[in-house]
Amino acid sequence: MDNIWFRIRPVFRRLALWIGIAMAIWAPLAWLQTGTASAHAVLERSVPEPGERMEEGPAAVELHFNEAVESDVGSIAVLDDRSNPVTEARPEAPGDRKSLRLPLPELKEGRYTVSYKVVSADGHPVSGSYVFVVGNPPASPDASAFDLHKQVGHEGHGGYGAEKQLTFEQFIMYTIRVLYYAALLLAAGIMLWYALSKGRQPALEPWLAKWGLYGMRALLIGTLLYVFMSTRELMEGLPLADWGSLLLSTSVGQIWLSLLLLAAVGFAVMKAGRIAALLWTAALLAVESLNGHAAAMEPKAMTVAADFVHLLAAAVWVGGLTLLLALWFGDRKEAGRFAPAFSNAAWLSVALLALSGIGLTVYFMPGWDYLFYTPWGTLLLIKSALVLLVMIVGVLLRLRVRKGHFPKGTLLKMDGILMALIIVIAAIFTSISPLPENEPVNWHQMGEEMHVTVRISPNVPGDNKFTVKVWLPEDVGTPKSVALRLLSEDRPESGPIDIPLEPYEDDEFDAFDGFVKATYRSEGPYLPYAGRWIAEVRVLDRDDNERVERHPFRNY
């Protein structure tokens, strides 16, 4: 037994030696491999590049990593400026598995966000986002898009919808707006009924002439007051000589002059026949469509056309109901004859009002939740409830008329009250912004280990200026690196958007005793769409200690 042990002992020694040598070689290699793997996959190159501005949209998005990724796990999405995916296609992976390619449809002018979340070959998740721009897209609309001061180059004065509390001057302006809006719908509506019923109901013509004259007088007075007060408010603090420039050289002023001209010639149009009446009504409503919120939205042709249909339907309903009420109190028999024609037209006009109103709301608002952010949304909800009541009253009136009965006075009066309330609400909410006002981000956080300031201006989807200031204790020194990231709270699955910061010399006096300051800034389209965001500041000191601060904000 001992002889066997002595014979095999050299074999074990040689085996142990070779194992030791193998371990000595393998250990550093394993350490190197682990060090490489700990870095995981990194995005080395992308097409388009972050922040790139392109004349035409790319055929595909390409992401190139430093190591293989699993193409069947994770996702790549390209989002438009309303955070909606532009394609449902799956990414393609070439043979080396180090890159991914997502084919794209033809992209129109706009800002696009590439958001990726993939898994590297070693099983670690890799995520991120960046923005590229196609063409020269206009700034995303917010409350400022509906500011007449901005449109005529007189920013900073504030409009009659700009204050948080209602002032006496604003009350007067809203009252004039209600008078103007009611007169416009009445005059246009009576003119339409005149054109549509001329020669068919001779007994109705004296009533149409009488109320047409009332409507024209109200329209002329209302338009004069509206244009004068609006011009006065816009030109506050400016010489009287500039009033002519406003009315003659700006689109807003030219629209107001057109309204005044149409109101003045309306008296003559009443005697010029049906065709002239229809043309005048179409011109009046078309000009008013250019005077509203629809003209500030894109695509302008679609929104203005929808607003024209909305006004046309409202005019038919307001003019017809006013005439029916007048007949009810003045000539009950003629009211009975007119009721069937009005009932048919009213049903169609209210349906068009609802459909065009929904269409305009879709264009005005990025999402239905915006109805709860502004007074405009609140008024729209109230108006919608009133329109629903109008539909119920209309059904009851229609059933009564179809049975050959006279319209019931109680229902007519209720319809008239609802009409008056809707006109008041419509006149007010067409003069205030449907979108909330964006406020620049100006956040400062004090702390024992770090102070930080983040500024984002103007805080709108699109191009913004980003400023980051960091103060560290003197014994820590200036930071080794500072990063600013934007994370979408509405799309938590999207990776962070890294803002490329550059140091700059700051001349603001904002020193803190015992701290040293470092300042950075950037400018570009790194805030791609409206929503809830988190600004994340990551600061690495010279000892590689990381400090992180986060601040939530939102834009519209």
Going 371 to 374 to 378 to 380, the CA torsion angle's sign is: negative
Q: Give yes or no: residues 276 and 378 share one domain.
A: yes
Q: What is the DSSP letter of 520?
A: E
Answer whether residue 26 is part of any domain: yes
Q: Give yes or no: residues 260 and 301 share one domain.
A: yes
- The three-state secondary structure class of 285 is helix
CATH code for the domain in which residue 76 is found: 2.60.40.1220
* Closest among 178, 215, 222, 221 to 194, alpha carbons compared: 215
Answer whether residue 140 is part of any domain: no
> What's the total number of domains in the chain?
4
Q: Cα(473)–Cα(490) distance, rounded to whole angstroms?
A: 36
Q: Give yes or no: residues 412 and 502 share one domain.
A: no
Q: Cα(291)–Cα(251) distance, rounded to whole angstroms?
A: 9
Q: pLDDT at position 38, please?
A: 40
Query: What is the pLDDT tens value at each position of the chain, 556 positions in all?
Result: 455 545 555 555 665 555 555 555 544 444 444 343 344 678 899 999 999 999 999 999 999 998 888 767 768 999 999 899 999 998 988 777 889 999 999 999 999 999 998 888 777 788 899 999 999 998 776 666 665 555 554 554 444 444 457 788 889 999 999 999 999 999 999 999 999 887 677 889 899 999 999 999 999 999 999 999 999 888 887 787 778 888 888 888 999 999 999 999 999 998 888 999 999 999 999 999 998 888 877 788 899 999 999 999 999 999 999 999 999 999 988 888 899 999 989 999 999 999 999 989 888 888 888 899 889 999 999 999 999 999 999 999 888 888 877 778 889 999 999 999 999 999 998 888 888 889 999 999 999 999 999 999 999 999 999 999 999 999 999 999 999 999 999 999 888 999 999 999 998 888 899 999 999 999 999 999 999 999 999 999 999 999 999 999 999 8
Q: pLDDT at position 166, please?
A: 76
Q: Give yes or no: residues 316 and 245 share one domain.
A: yes
Answer whether residue 325 is part of any domain: yes
| Residue 158 zone, left/alpha/beta (φ > 0; ψ -120 to 50; rest) | left
Encoded tokens for 538: 């990551």
Answer whether residue 152 is part of any domain: no
Q: Give yes or no: residues 293 and 406 share one domain.
A: yes
Q: Give yes or no: residues 376 and 320 share one domain.
A: yes
| Residue 80 zone, left/alpha/beta (φ > 0; ψ -120 to 50; rest) | beta
Q: Give yes or no: residues 96 and 26 share one domain.
A: no
CATH code for the domain in which residue 245 is found: 1.20.1630
Q: pLDDT at position 240, please?
A: 76
Helices (H) and strands (E) in the chain — how many of each? 11, 16
Q: Give yes or no: residues 479 and 363 share one domain.
A: no
Q: Give yes or no: residues 47 and 35 share one domain.
A: no
Q: pLDDT at position 30, please?
A: 42
Q: Give yes or no: residues 376 and 517 share one domain.
A: no
- The three-state secondary structure class of 48 is coil
**How far is CA 257 from its chain centroid?**
30
Answer whether residue 157 is part of any domain: no
Answer whether residue 146 is part of any domain: no
Q: Cα(223)–Cα(257) distance, rounded to whole angstroms?
A: 10
Q: What is the DSSP letter of 124?
A: -
CATH code for the domain in which residue 523 is found: 2.60.40.3340
Q: pLDDT at position 221, please?
A: 98
Answer whether residue 436 is part of any domain: no
Domain limit, last residue, from 395, 429, 463: 429
Q: Give yes or no: residues 375 and 282 share one domain.
A: yes
Q: Cα(258)–Cα(151) distance, rounded to whole angstroms?
A: 18
Q: pLDDT at position 538, please?
A: 97
Query: What are the φ/ψ torsions at residue 142 (nearest 5 degrees)?
Result: -135, -160
Give residue 84's domain range.
43-134
Domain limit, last residue, from 384, 404, 429: 429
Q: Give yes or no: residues 184 and 202 share one domain.
A: yes
Query: What are the φ/ψ torsions at residue 516 (nearest 5 degrees)?
Result: -110, 145
